[in-house]
Amino acid sequence: MIGLPGEVVEVRDGRVFIDGKFLAEEPYAQWTDTYRQPQSVHAREVAPERYQELWQTHVLDRELQDIQRDYFGPVKVPENAYFAMGDNRDHSCDSRYWGPVEQRYLKGKGWFIYWPPSRIASVR
């Protein structure tokens, strides 16, 4: 989980920002794609005032398809919900696609890292 209740999550040009601050990280792999959309295309797709509503109601994917991978938000994570995003974020579905995860659906804590193989370990 990268976004906690009340935080604002945004992805600009594939870079993640939480409350306007860049989320510094060391990626273990680089995904390259010739289908990157410029911000101007993203901005035309959905009016800013509708973006939060579409995301929270889980219909944003139908509206934006693959565009929100590199340009997403900003959205405010609702109370009692979280923003899920994994370390394979360049090529996976996560909260950008299926919306916030309500706290009632969280059943436990992560206990094991299995990918990439060089990082296999139990979670401390």
- Beta-carbon contacts of 50 under 8 Å, excluding residues fewer than 6 positions away, are none
pTM confidence score: 0.68
Indicate if the pLDDT at residue 109 is higher than 80: yes
> Which CATH number applies to 8-122?
2.10.109
- Structural domain spans, the chain: 8-122
* Mean pLDDT over each residue of the chain, to the nearest integer: 77
- Section 49-65 average pLDDT: 66
Higher pLDDT, 95 or 61: 95
Indicate if the pLDDT at residue 26 is higher than 70: no
DSSP letters spanning 7-43: -EEEEETTEEEETTEE-----SS----S-PPPHHHHH
- Please report how many Cα atoms fall inside a 13 Å half-sphere around the Cα of residue 98, on the Cβ side: 8
Q: pLDDT (tens digit, 9 = 90+) per residue, 30-50?
A: 555 544 444 444 444 566 667
